[in-house]
């Protein structure tokens, strides 16, 4: 009954910004970790940013300084703020949640997550 629904994707020009949202509903709604992943055509799904069990945030190296992740626990919403977007950021962005306890870079590993949204498309033009 757990459902994750992403929103906020769209088409922007290089250098622009977008804010993605992930609404979580159903049971259980409390997770140890939540994260954002993305997948471009012909590429493997990769970790973008995640929040560990203790609240520690990890952002992929190529996105540090440009992307930030946050969550509204009261409303069960996960956010991804993307700034200084580049064409290479074009991808389908997914929200993921896990009941597993994780720390550090583990939050960016696909196999750690059992709940996924269907994705929201982000397209960056030059």
Query: Across the chain, what does the average pLDDT equal?
Result: 93
CA distances (Å), origin 32, targets 9, 29, 45, 117: 25, 10, 21, 17
The span from the CA of 112 to the CA of 126, in Å, is: 34
Residue 94 in tokens? 């997914």
From first CA to last CA, the distance across the chain in angstroms is: 40
Q: How confident is the model at residue 28 (pLDDT cuts 50, 70, 90)?
A: low
**Structure confidence by residue, pLDDT tens digits, 70-116:** 998 888 899 999 999 999 999 999 999 998 888 889 999 999 999 99
- How far apart CA 92 and CA 46 sit, in angstroms, is 11
pLDDT of residue 2: 86
Structure confidence at residue 32 as a pLDDT band (50, 70, 90): confident
Tell which wins on pLDDT, 31 or 29: 31
């Amino acid at each position: 009954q757990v459902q994750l629904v992403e929103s906020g994707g769209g088409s922007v020009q290089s250098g622009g910004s977008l804010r993605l949202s992930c609404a979580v509903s159903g049971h259980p709604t409390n997770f140890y970790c939540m994260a954002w992943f993305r997948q471009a055509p012909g590429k493997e799904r990769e970790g973008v940013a995640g929040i560990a069990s203790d609240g520690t945030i990890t952002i992929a190296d190529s996105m540090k300084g440009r992307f930030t992740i946050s969550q509204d626990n009261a409303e069960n919403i996960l956010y991804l703020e993307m700034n200084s977007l580049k064409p290479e950021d074009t991808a389908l962005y997914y929200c993921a949640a896990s009941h597993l306890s994780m720390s550090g870079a583990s939050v960016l590993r696909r196999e750690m997550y059992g709940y996924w949204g269907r994705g929201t498309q982000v397209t960056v033009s030059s």
